[in-house]
């Protein structure tokens, strides 16, 4: 009798599947959950050793784009709206439910809002969002357009990021405030890992 297939595990697409589907650029050891929503495959680049978990939505419609480095994890239920571009550096990570917006409507009432309205009636704030190397973002955090999060930053859960953040800080809050510096030990660990992988030929 054949073993039962687990109906609750949708599984992951491999880099071969994703390359065949038309992804712009993809490295090795890439896994994307089969229940993700991805729009704009031809404008998405992914490095090596990347995992994107279930129910994540990545939207790179129109002229939008996403560049995902290597050793990047995107937790489940994240939303990346990349109309003006999103860049995730090497060794960066998004915990569950993080939302990143590279465009946002005017919430003050001076303009109409939402994608069904012609552009001339809206006032959209827009700008590329960049998370540099070793940035980690906690669950349910929201990142708004035109933000550059410096190398080595950690952003605590349930935070709101409305402006760029300096490197190697621990940030938290609505809006985020710098609490203290973050250890740079991860840089040594990065070199150890890359050396180990180089020796093993991976």
Which residues touch 179 (CB under 8 Å, ≥6 apart)?
A: 169, 170, 171, 172
According to DSSP, the residues that pair with 130 across neighbouring strands are 87, 148
- The region, left, alpha or beta by phi > 0 then psi within -120 to 50, assigned to residue 109 is left
Task: Return the structure tokens found at 38.
Answer: 């991805």
- Domain spans of the chain? 12-200
Confidence (pTM): 0.94
**Under CATH, which number does the domain 12-200 receive?**
2.160.10.10
Q: How large is the average pLDDT for residues 21-44?
A: 95
Q: Which residue has the higher pLDDT, 105 or 1?
A: 105
Q: How large is the average pLDDT for residues 73-82?
A: 98
Number of CB atoms found within 10 A of residue 46's CB: 23
């Amino acid at each position: 009798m054949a073993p039962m297939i687990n109906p609750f595990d949708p599984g992951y697409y491999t880099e071969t599947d994703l390359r065949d589907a038309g992804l712009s650029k993809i490295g090795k050891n890439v896994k994307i959950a089969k229940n993700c929503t991805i729009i704009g495959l031809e404008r998405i680049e992914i490095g090596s050793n990347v995992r994107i978990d279930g129910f994540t939505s990545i939207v790179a419609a129109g002229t939008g784009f996403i560049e995902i480095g290597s050793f990047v994890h995107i937790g489940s239920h994240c939303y990346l709206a990349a109309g003006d571009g999103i860049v995730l550096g090497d060794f960066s990570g998004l915990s569950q439910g993080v939302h990143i917006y590279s465009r946002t409507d005017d919430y003050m009432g001076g303009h109409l809002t939402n994608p069904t309205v012609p552009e001339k009636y809206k006032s959209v704030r827009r700008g590329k969002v960049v998370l540099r190397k070793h940035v980690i973002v906690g669950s349910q955090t929201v990142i708004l357009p035109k933000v550059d999060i410096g190398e080595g930053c950690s952003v605590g859960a349930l935070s709101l990021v409305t402006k760029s953040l300096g490197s190697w800080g621990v940030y938290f809050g609505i809006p985020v405030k710098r609490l203290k510096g973050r250890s740079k030990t991860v840089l040594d660990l990065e070199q150890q890992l890359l050396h180990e992988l180089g020796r093993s030929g991976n």
